[in-house]
Amino acid sequence: MEKEPIIALDFPTWKEAEQFLVPFQNEQLYVKVGMELYLQNGPFIIEQLKKMNHRIFLDLKLHDIPNTVGQAMKGLAALDVDIINVHAAGGVEMMKKARAGLDAGAKGGKRPILLAVTQLTSTSEAAMHADQLISVPLQESVLHYAKKAKEAGCDGVVCSVLEAASIREACGEDFYKVTPGIRLKDGNADDQQRIADPAEARKIGSTMIVVGRPITKAADPVAAYHQVKALWGGQA
């Protein structure tokens, strides 16, 4: 279990992300750079965060034909981030190519951890049935994707806390279960459907938690971060 919660830096510009980070002073953070920040600002963002010694999850959720994803991963490996990901729905061949691309592009033999997104935490079982025409229960779909991700050489998955226990049972303790959809007990779910609080995530067995708006939109983000961190670490 990683003791730092991962903060989702969902901001449109580096200026806003940098301003958000100022009150954290010299604290070494684990941050997530997603589509909003990366697609508008590019590798510059990663360079800045690395200069600040933060660890980085580059959350681009690649999903394309195997060759395209493999080549993209080869290039992205040069950024030397800590975690990177794909959508498991792209299939086993695509995930294998993603892994091969990372292996080929890795700097000094150290490649990023490769995760596969199972079902987005904003997806409810009803929406999965209606939008994706997947008729099995959502737990089964997530577990299926986790097994396929493992078969393809991924290090773990992105899932909700609600599926973490069954994935641990099927794929083992060391297989990463990185869980967004984290909310404090009295918090707003926003667009998330499968949520849990940081203490539940710890008890159920997430490897890492990802927290965005409950920290970034809080009146006091540093206090919110430390509240999440204490609950996640079992100190609150």
Ligand X SMILES: O=c1ccn([C@@H]2O[C@H](COP(=O)(O)O)[C@@H](O)[C@H]2O)c(=O)[nH]1
Is 120 a binding residue for ligand X by CB under 6 A? The answer is yes
Judged by CB under 6 A, the stretch of 23-31, 65-73, 200-208, 210-218 that binds ligand X is: 210-218
Q: Distance between CA atoms of 127 and 120, rounded to whole angstroms?
A: 11
Closest separation in Å from C-beta 10 to ligand X: 5
**189: enclosing H helix or E strand:** none
Q: How many residues are listed for the chain in this entry? A: 236
Residue from 201, 210, 228, 231 touching ligand X (CB under 6 A): that is 210
What is the 3-state secondary structure of 124-166? CHHHHHHHHCCCCCHHHHHHHHHHHHHHHCCCEEECCHHHHHH
Does 180 bind ligand X (CB under 6 A)? Our answer is yes
Count of residues interacting with ligand X (CB under 6 A): 16
156 is an interface residue for ligand X by CB under 6 A: no
Give the integer Cα–Cα distance in Å for 26 and 157. Answer: 30
Decide if residue 158 touches ligand X (CB under 6 A). yes
Q: Which residue spans within the chain are E strands per DSSP? A: 6-8, 30-34, 55-62, 83-87, 113-117, 156-158, 176-179, 208-211
Q: Is 111 annotated as a binding residue?
A: no
Told to judge if 220 belongs to the known catalytic residues of this protein, a careful annotator would answer no
Q: Is 63 annotated as a binding residue?
A: yes
* Catalytic option among 3, 50, 64, 197: 64
Binding status of residue 190 toward ligand X by CB under 6 A: yes
Q: Is 138 in the site for ligand X (CB under 6 A)?
A: no
> One of 3, 50, 51, 61 is an active-site residue; which one?
61
Does position 131 interact with ligand X (CB under 6 A)? The reply is no
Q: Is 183 left (phi over 0), alpha (psi -120 to 50) or beta?
A: beta
Binding-site positions for substrate read 10, 32, 59-68, 121, 183, 192, 212-213
Residues that bind ligand X (CB under 6 A): 8, 10, 34, 117, 120-121, 158, 180-181, 190, 192, 210-214
